[in-house]
Chains A and B, each alone.
Chain A
Amino acid sequence: MSTDALAEVARSVAFEAAPTWEILWRLHHPFDRLPGRGPVESVLSRAVHAGDVVAVVGGSGSGKSSVMSAACSPLEVGIAPVRLPLRAEPLDTLRSVSAFARHVLASLAALGRDHARLDDPQREEAYRAAVDRRVPPGRRRGSGAPRAPWLLTGGDLAAQLASAAVAVAGARRSGVADVQQLGQTLSLVEAHGLIPVLVLEDTDAWAASPSDASRRPIAVHFFREVPRLAADLPGSTVMAVHDTYRELPEWAAAQELIDRQVLVPRLGSAGELTSILAHRVGVAAGGTHLADVLDGGAVERLFELYSSTRSLRAVLVVADEAVDEAHAAGRDSVDAALVDRVVGSRYPS
Chain B
Amino acid sequence: MDLSPRPLLDTDPDAELFAGRDEALSRVLTAAGAALNVLVVGERGAGKTSLLRQAARRLRGQGVDVAFVDGRGATGLVSLLDLVTAALARDPFVAVPEASPQVIPELAALTLLARMVGPDRQPVVLLDELPDGPTGHALFGRFRDELWQLPVSWVVAVGADDRAAVTTPPADAFFARVVDLAPLTADECRAILAARVGTAAPPDAIAAVAAACDGTPRHLLFLAREAAADGWRTDRAVATAADREDRLERLSAPARRLVAELEASGPLYASDPLVQARLGWSRVRIVQVLGELVEAGLVGSVRAVGDRGRSRTLYSLHPPRGDEVTAGGGR
Q: Which residues of A contact B (CB under 8 A)?
A: 17-18, 60-61, 85, 87-90, 139, 141-143, 202, 204-205, 208-212, 215, 311, 313-314, 317, 320-321, 324, 328, 345-346, 348
Q: Quick check: A61 and B142 within 8 Å, CB to CB?
A: no
Q: Quick check: A210 and B142 within 8 Å, CB to CB?
A: no
Give the interface residue-count category, chain B: 35 or more
Residues of B within 8 A of A346 (CB): 167, 178
Pick the interface stretch among B50-58, B168-176, B237-245, B299-307.
B168-176
Pairs of residues from A and B, 9 with the lowest C-beta to C-beta distance, nearest first: A60-B169, A18-B173, A17-B173, A142-B149, A212-B134, A90-B104, A208-B169, A205-B142, A141-B148
Q: Quick check: B142 and A87 within 8 Å, CB to CB?
A: yes
Besides A18-B170, A87-B142, A88-B146, 16 new A-B residue pairs in contact (Cβ under 8 A), listed by A number:
A18-B173, A60-B170, A87-B145, A88-B104, A88-B107, A139-B35, A139-B36, A139-B176, A142-B150, A142-B151, A204-B170, A208-B170, A210-B133, A210-B137, A210-B168, A317-B172
Q: Quick check: B142 and A88 within 8 Å, CB to CB?
A: yes
Q: Quick check: B169 and A345 within 8 Å, CB to CB?
A: no
Q: Quick check: B138 and A212 within 8 Å, CB to CB?
A: yes
Q: Mark B94-135, 1 if CB is under 8 A from A, else 0.
A: 000000000010110000000000000000000000000110
Q: Quick check: B180 and A345 within 8 Å, CB to CB?
A: yes
A sample of 7 inter-chain contacts (CB < 8 A) reads: A18-B144, A18-B173, A18-B174, A205-B170, A208-B137, A211-B133, A345-B178
Residues of B within 8 A of A141 (CB): 148-149
Q: Quick check: B141 and A208 within 8 Å, CB to CB?
A: yes
Cα A311 to Cα B169 with chains together (Å): 10
Residues of A within 8 A of B311 (CB): none
Residues of B within 8 A of A324 (CB): 34
Residues of B within 8 A of A89 (CB): 104
Cα A207 to Cα B107 with chains together (Å): 20
- Measured CB to CB, the nearest residue on chain A to B166 is A210
Whether B252 sits at the interface, judged by CB under 8 Å, is no
Q: Given that A88-B142, A208-B141 are contacting pairs, would A142 and B148 also be in contact in the complex, using a CB cutoff of 8 Å? A: yes
- Measured CB to CB, the nearest residue on chain B to A140 is B148
Residues of A within 8 A of B177 (CB): 321
CB-contact partner of A209 in B30, B138, B179, under 8 A: B138
Q: Quick check: B164 and A210 within 8 Å, CB to CB?
A: yes
Residues of A within 8 A of B221 (CB): none
Q: Quick check: A210 and B144 within 8 Å, CB to CB?
A: no
Q: Quick check: B145 and A202 within 8 Å, CB to CB?
A: yes
Whether B165 sits at the interface, judged by CB under 8 Å, is yes
Shortest Cβ distance from A111 into chain B, in angstroms?
17
